[in-house]
Amino acid sequence: MDPVARGHPEWAANALAAQKRRGPCGCAYQEFSECVKTRVSNNCTSRLFDNPQWVYFCMPGDEVGSREANCTVELAVHRMKTCYAAIGITEELELSVALFEQKLPAWFHNASRVYAASRSHRHSNPTSYFNTLTNSSMTRSVSNEAKALLGKMPWFQEERYFHEQVVRRFWRDVAASGLLDADEGG
């Protein structure tokens, strides 16, 4: 389902306006894969997103673009590894919830049970096949061509490195918590 239909029209309108302001590098009304191809063909070198995912692991004042701009991907990785009790990944949401439940019981007590119950009430594909914002029907996938093009973009290397470090930390925590054995015995 698109953001407008989910009840977030202000966010969607602001995002679309920002895309339009960026002109040929803004990707207004395009699906992600088409946007990547358009940006490459227009020689756009800026980041695809305003903030890389690792910036959210920096402290206030460290953000990219702030006066000091102290935040680097290395600092974000260090903080991700040392300042957080648990890290989850959307690719393994159910396991992430179980990890949070174990590591942070005061906040996630019975979270796995609640998550499992909520899953039983969901449709198998909640995403709309037609995106009213982009007037397209390619949903929930990124083409292999777009993935290859992204891999060649210099700024994407930091994104990939950070994501790999998060995934590595996640699986270490899952293994150390015994959740793999419990899941396999299941």
Q: Is the pLDDT of residue 185 over 70?
A: no
Q: In this predicted model, what pLDDT tens digit does every residue of 73-109 receive, in sequence order?
A: 898 899 899 989 999 999 899 999 999 999 999 999 9
Distance CA 100, CA 106 (A): 10
Domain ranges, ordered by start, for the chain: 9-185
98 Cβ neighbours under 8 A, 6+ residues apart = 111, 112, 179, 183
pLDDT, position 54: 82
Residues 127, 139 contacting (CB under 8 angstroms)? yes
Distance CA 181, CA 183 (A): 5
pTM, rounded to two decimals: 0.69
Q: In this predicted model, what pLDDT tens digit does every residue of 5-62 receive, in sequence order?
A: 445 567 667 776 777 777 777 777 777 788 888 888 888 877 776 677 888 888 765 5
Q: In terms of Cα–Cα distance, which of 52, 59, 65 is closest to 79? A: 59
DSSP symbols for 68-132: S----HHHHHHHHHHS-S----GGGHHHHHHHHHHH-HHHHTTHHHHHHHHHHTS-S--S-SSBT
Q: Is the pLDDT of residue 135 over 90?
A: no
pLDDT, position 22: 73
Return the H-helix or E-strand segment holding 4. Answer: none
Supply the angle between the helices 144-151 and 32-41 in degrees, to the nearest 10: 50
